[in-house]
Amino acid sequence: MRFLTAFLLLACGLAQADAPYQASDPLSWELKNARWFDGRQLQRGNLYVDNGVFVASKPAKVNRKMDLRGQQILINPLAEAHNHNLQTAWGWGQFADKYIDEGVFYAAMLCGDPASVAEVLPLAAMPAAPDVSFVTACITSPDGYPLAAVLPEPTAEAAAAQQRIVLVDGPDQVHAQWPAIQARGGRWLRIVLAHSERPELRGRPESFGRLGLRPDTARALTRLAQADGRRVVAHVETAADFDAALAAGVDAIAHLPGYANTLDQAPERFVISESAAVQAARQRTAVITTTAATALFKLDAQPLAAMREVQRTNLARLQAAGVQLLLGSDVFIGTARAEVHSLNELGLDRAMLLRLATQDTPRALFPDRKLGCFEPGCEASFLLLGGDPLADLAHLDLPLLRVKQGRLLTRLADVAASSSQASTSTAEPPKKMAEVKKKKTGKAKAQSRTASKPRRR
């Protein structure tokens, strides 16, 4: 185990924590006496990797042979279903390595403009980068969210001049704006519903940039998008927005109502009804959690406790109805790991939580790939943890090893460059050392026999 520990510490790149992650060549692996999370519980056995996928038997040539002796735990990498920090070149430079460092290999960026995303795409194609799905068609009302956050000054003139977000003012404009929306590309588009049940907020200066589409506009956009083969994710704030998104027929809802209370409303406005949860399950509408984002609003203890209770209620109702949950944080300075800990604090079952992070969410983001599994044919992407995260979630915070499609990810360039060379096995002593030991043992026995014979005089 001393050899294994030394190798793991080296691979972690602790000595060069500020260096960018690099990927080795694809390696073949033999992982003996492994334990891994299968989505429900831990399994035991030997695992083999070749050509970037798990295989059923030991490869003819093994680059890395490790005996985990049932002590470390393997899990699949995490996924982030809602963020915005990788959709610009600046954000990528700031946060891409943080994703890999925290074991988050898959992500969805939900409101990038095409020009900025075009700069990021070559970076996202690198083997040591997180895999990212980009939404480049973000649609809101002329006074809608997130205009207040992205404009230098919150005015109608500034909103009309910007190019990052498409503005649609009523269902009559949907067809007129559709060519511009199509030109932005992507398989998904994002629509914004915010306080849609409160039309009296329209026209108020303090509400500018914080509202969203009318429900009838959301319905028209969703129908046109789905007829065009695209899918729709809806930003929501309140339970009424949640209902409006369901009535529009969207494919996914971004935000569990109750993640924020920017208008200081009664907590009841954010509680999803049981019938709405049943409808979401019937329509197969996924819900992205984003409970970690609540911490960004710095609420006092009592309002925070009230919103956390709303979140618990909403999660329980969605789970009881069988709604597909996806794990996303919407924490710009963080990753999905923040959401994992937030949901854990809310009491979500630990096995279900890990399944959401490592199986359900990656597969939803990249449905055409075989992710989140350890069976033959699955992509060989995994994290090695020091202990069982089902027993202690803190093990998730310090991955000992990061492997993506069979490639070792490390901050040490020389380790990445030399990893494909044959290396000493941690599972058995090197052959030469074993032979030397055998020769020494044989020589000692011969000397013992010689010494025991009586000398002739």
If we measure between CA atoms, which residue out of 217, 234, 223 comes closest to residue 174?
A: 217
In whole angstroms, what separates CA 456 from the centre of its chain? 81
Q: State the pLDDT at residue 16.
A: 53
Query: 3-state DSSP call for residue 235?
Result: strand
In whole angstroms, what separates CA 247 from the centre of its chain? 28
Query: 3-state DSSP call for residue 312?
Result: helix
Q: State the pLDDT at residue 108.
A: 98
* Largest Cα–Cα separation, the chain: 121
- pLDDT tens for each residue of 86-127: 999 999 999 999 999 999 999 999 999 999 999 999 999 999
For residues 167 and 141, is the Cβ–Cβ distance under 8 A?
yes
Q: Which two tokens stand for residue 76?
A: 């699949």
Q: Which residues, 6 or more positions from 344, have their beta carbon under 8 angstroms from its beta carbon?
A: 350, 353, 393
Distance CA 249, CA 234 (A): 10
Per-residue pLDDT at 443 exceeds 70? no
Distance CA 258, CA 237 (A): 7
Q: What is the mean pLDDT of residues 353-379?
A: 98
Q: Domain locations in the chain? A: 1-76+373-450, 78-372
Task: Read off the pLDDT band of 419 (50, 70, 90).
Answer: confident
**48: number of Cβ within 10 Å:** 19
Per-residue pLDDT at 20 exceeds 50? yes
Residue of 153 and 220 predicted with greater confidence: 220
Distance CA 292, CA 427 (A): 41
Distance CA 341, CA 348 (A): 10
Q: State the pLDDT at residue 390.
A: 97
For residues 229 and 186, is the Cβ–Cβ distance under 8 A?
no
CATH architecture of the region 78-372: Alpha-Beta Barrel (3.20)
Query: 3-state DSSP call for residue 105?
Result: strand
Ramachandran sector of residue 26 (left: φ over 0; alpha: ψ -120 to 50; beta: rest) = beta
Q: Which two tokens stand for residue 319?
A: 């789970």
Task: Read off the pLDDT band of 18 (50, 70, 90).
Answer: confident
Q: What is the mean pLDDT of residues 403-424?
A: 83
* Average confidence score pLDDT of the chain: 90
Q: State the pLDDT at residue 70.
A: 72
Q: State the pLDDT at residue 2.
A: 39
Per-residue pLDDT at 325 exceeds 70? yes
Return the exposure string of 146-174: e unless at least 16 CB atoms fall within 10 Å of the residue's CB, then b: bbbebbeebeeeebeeeebbbbbeebeeb
Task: Read off the pLDDT band of 69 (50, 70, 90).
Answer: confident
Task: Read off the pLDDT band of 185 (50, 70, 90).
Answer: very high
Q: Which residues, 6 or more positions from 298, have their beta carbon under 8 angstroms from its beta carbon?
A: none
Per-residue pLDDT at 374 exceeds 70? yes
Per-residue pLDDT at 6 exceeds 60? no
Alpha helices in 109-238 (DSSP H): 114-124, 147-150, 156-161, 174-183, 215-227
Q: Which residues, 6 or more positions from 13, have their beta carbon under 8 angstroms from its beta carbon?
A: 19, 21, 410, 411, 412, 415
- Of the chain, the percentage scoring pLDDT greater than 70 comes to 88
User: Beta strand 42-50 with 29-37: parallel, antiparallel or unpaired?
Assistant: antiparallel
Angle between helices 215-227 and 239-248 in degrees, nearest 10: 40
Distance CA 342, CA 195 (A): 25
CATH of 1-76+373-450, one of 1.10.150.120, 2.30.40.10, 1.10.1510.10, 3.90.850.10: 2.30.40.10
Q: What is the mean pLDDT of residues 65-75?
A: 91
Q: State the pLDDT at residue 415.
A: 83
What pTM value is reported for the model?
0.89
Q: What is the mean pLDDT of residues 66-77?
A: 92
The length of the chain, given as a count of residues: 457
Q: What is the mean pLDDT of residues 148-174?
A: 93
Q: Which residues, 6 or more positions from 227, have their beta carbon under 8 angstroms from its beta carbon?
A: none
Q: State the pLDDT at residue 17.
A: 60
